[in-house]
């Protein structure tokens, strides 16, 4: 059996994996990108539901070192983003480094060789001295487990696994969820479906979407004058950081966001009763802010019904409400988001063997599994990038690095810069292995959680940002420029 061995393996070929490949390629002798699908793109390849678009402005949703001069509007649509990702892949000649249709099942640290053994589905394993996990947090659909789900007679699918073979024209459709995906695809399907029942668990704060397509002159200027687009990028970036003061606890900004959202609601919905139904009872930002000009008008359509009672179960002909009302439908679509707190599953990642808990003097050792470790205890890391007990393992968009107010592309670039510094320090020291000190990540996590207490996310609502224990291990509790500062330097003393 011939086992391929590389200096650096990257798992995932979305924004994170491609950024890592471009920036780290010159620092290693050999590199391999493992991608389970047949094309690059990650979440922007997979999410192809009608109306799919980004709620981060276009100029911030591209790499700083490779601005996209082909945006057609202030907020990018799915196909534009995917086209950009494909162009980047080809421009930097990354395809020869990618093994497509390659599913990573597990990673195991081999102490005697100081390498990671990467087990692949249906293929020989790969050995890598360093591994970058770039699988992203939005790739595991969250599907509710209602009683009788298997009995439904029609098609059922999640928004991220859209069934384009299922025609919705003239059908009765049930949509469960009113989050960021649902407010994009419901207005589209409502135009063709006979009837749409939208099941809302909690109302969301919805802001207007200023998204008029760029005219020909502006598009030409962005191509001809690169500095103009860069200026627009910085303007949008600092505006978003200013909005972020509301997420960090500013009551004045929260009041401003509340007034803007309420004005938007009252302009589009005149009925006071429906206004009350669509008004959240939590602070703006505690759950994800949504941006749409078509959501409220869609709920006013004659063929759309907003259902605010809970769901008891599913029967062959439709969905059953808490009061036993049956809402008949031909198709059920889950707009219920993702399992954002399951950072590494379904992969199994086995770290450095540790002495087993038990009697003193026992010689038994056990390799901790990262997913199980984080299910039973907080997701403790160093800047969401490295983990004690898991040498030479780096993460992108790991715990406590998600955002509620700015572009995750910015955070990815910060993390890749930190990894580059780590690889340079490792090479300069003559060592083979970086082992994060447990006390460093413990102190880092304590600071993050202390800072989290002053943010809007701990103001009382329940959201997908929280894990089963109510802790918020998904979000960065500060401004992105603060994270940038923390990732500008790499301290070798943080590592054994």
DSSP label at 402? B
What CATH number is given for 4-139+341-494 in this structure? 3.50.50.60
pLDDT in tens, 432-483: 999 999 999 999 999 999 999 999 999 988 888 888 778 899 999 999 999 9
As a whole number of Å, the end-to-end CA separation of the chain is 34
Cα 271 to its chain centre, rounded Å, is: 35
Q: Cα–Cα distance between 149 and 143 in angstroms, integer?
A: 11
Q: Cα–Cα distance between 84 and 352 in angstroms, integer?
A: 39
What confidence score (pLDDT) does residue 269 get?
97
How many degrees, rounded to 5, is the angle at CA 281 between CA 276 and CA 285?
Answer: 120
What confidence score (pLDDT) does residue 366 get?
87
The pair of structure tokens assigned to 451 is 């800072």
Per-residue pLDDT of the chain (496 residues; tens, 9 = 90+): 678 999 999 999 999 999 999 999 999 999 999 999 999 999 999 999 999 999 999 999 999 999 999 999 999 999 999 999 999 999 999 999 999 999 999 999 999 999 999 999 999 999 999 999 999 888 889 999 999 999 999 999 999 999 999 999 999 999 999 999 999 999 999 999 999 999 999 999 999 999 999 999 999 999 999 899 999 999 999 999 999 999 999 999 999 999 999 999 999 999 999 999 999 999 999 999 999 999 999 999 999 999 999 999 999 999 999 999 999 999 999 999 998 888 998 999 999 988 776 545 556 678 999 999 999 899 999 999 999 999 999 999 999 999 999 999 999 999 999 999 999 999 999 889 999 999 999 999 999 999 999 999 999 888 888 887 788 999 999 999 999 999 999 999 999 8
Compute how many other C-beta atoms are within 10 angstroms of the C-beta atom of residue 26. Answer: 7
Q: Does the domain made of 149-211+220-334 have the CATH classification 3.40.50.360?
A: no
Q: Cα–Cα distance between 435 and 66 in angstroms, integer?
A: 33
Q: State pTM to two decimals.
A: 0.95
Q: Point out which residues pair with 119 in neighbouring strands.
A: 106
Residue found under tokens 């984080």: 374
pLDDT in tens, 134-160: 998 888 899 999 999 999 999 999 999
Q: Cα–Cα distance between 240 and 69 in angstroms, integer?
A: 21
From-to residues of CATH 3.50.50.60 in the chain: 4-139+341-494, 149-211+220-334
The pair of structure tokens assigned to 76 is 């990018």
The pair of structure tokens assigned to 330 is 């031909």
Residue found under tokens 């099942």: 105
What confidence score (pLDDT) does residue 464 get?
84
Q: Which of 404, 401, 381 is nearest to 393 (CA)?
A: 381
Q: Point out which residues pair with 198 in neighbouring strands.
A: 175, 306
How many degrees, rounded to 5, is the angle at CA 476 between CA 474 and CA 477?
Answer: 115
Q: Cα–Cα distance between 225 and 465 in angstroms, integer?
A: 40
pLDDT in tens, 33-62: 999 999 999 999 999 999 999 999 999 999
Compute how many other C-beta atoms are within 10 angstroms of the C-beta atom of residue 482. Answer: 14
Q: Which of 116, 124, 120, 126 is nearest to 104 (CA)?
A: 120
Q: Which of 400, 399, 411 is nearest to 19 (CA)?
A: 411
Ramachandran angles phi, psi of 222, nearest 5°: -65, -30
């Amino acid at each position: 059996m011939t086992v391929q061995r590389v200096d650096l393996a990257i798992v995932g070929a979305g924004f994170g994996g491609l950024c890592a490949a471009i920036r780290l390629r010159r620092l290693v002798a050999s590199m391999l990108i493992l991608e389970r699908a047949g094309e690059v793109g990650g979440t922007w390849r997979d999410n192809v539901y009608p109306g799919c678009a980004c709620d981060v402005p276009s100029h911030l949703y591209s790499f700083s070192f490779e601005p996209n001069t082909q945006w057609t509007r202030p907020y990018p649509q799915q196909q534009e983003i995917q086209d950009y990702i494909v162009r980047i892949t080809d421009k930097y000649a990354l395809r020869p480094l990618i093994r497509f249709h390659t599913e990573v099942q597990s990673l195991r640290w081999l102490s005697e060789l100081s390498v990671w053994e990467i087990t692949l589905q249906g293929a020989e394993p790969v050995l890598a001295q360093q591994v970058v996990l770039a699988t992203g947090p939005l790739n595991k659909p969250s599907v509710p487990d209602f009683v009788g789900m298997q009995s439904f007679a029609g098609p059922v699918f999640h928004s991220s696994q859209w069934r384009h073979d299922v025609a919705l024209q003239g059908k009765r459709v049930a949509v469960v969820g009113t989050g960021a995906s649902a407010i994009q695809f419901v207005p589209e399907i409502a135009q063709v479906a006979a009837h749409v029942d939208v099941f809302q668990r909690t109302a969301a704060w919805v802001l207007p979407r200023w998204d008029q397509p760029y005219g020909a002159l502006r598009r030409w200027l962005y191509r001809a004058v690169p500095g103009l687009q860069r200026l627009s990028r910085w303007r949008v970036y600092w505006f978003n950081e200013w909005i972020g003061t509301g997420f960090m606890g500013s009551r004045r900004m929260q009041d401003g966001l509340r007034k803007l959202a309420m004005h938007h609601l009252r302009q589009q919905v005149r009925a006071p009763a429906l206004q009350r139904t669509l008004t959240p009872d939590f602070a703006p930002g505690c759950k994800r802010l949504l941006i749409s000009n078509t959501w409220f008008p869609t709920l006013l359509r004659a063929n759309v019904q907003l259902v605010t009672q809970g769901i008891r179960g599913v029967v062959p002909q439709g969905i059953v409400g808490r009061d036993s009302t049956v809402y008949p439908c031909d198709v059920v679509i889950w707009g219920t988001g993702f399992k954002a707190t399951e950072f590494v599953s379904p992969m199994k990642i086995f770290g450095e063997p540790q002495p087993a808990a038990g009697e003193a003097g026992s010689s038994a050792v056990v390799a901790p599994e990262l997913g199980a470790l984080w299910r039973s205890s907080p997701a403790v890391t160093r800047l969401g990038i490295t983990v004690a007990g898991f040498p030479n393992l780096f993460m992108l968009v790991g715990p406590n690095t998600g955002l509620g107010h700015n572009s995750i592309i910015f955070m990815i670039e910060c993390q890749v810069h930190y990894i580059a510094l780590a690889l340079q320090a490792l090479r300069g020291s003559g060592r083979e292995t970086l082992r994060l000190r447990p006390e460093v990540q413990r102190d880092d996590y304590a600071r993050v959680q202390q800072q989290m207490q002053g943010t809007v996310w701990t103001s009382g609502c329940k959201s997908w940002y929280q894990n089963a224990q109510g802790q918020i291990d998904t979000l960065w509790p500060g401004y992105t420029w603060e994270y940038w500062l923390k990732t500008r330097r790499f301290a070798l003393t943080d590592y054994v």
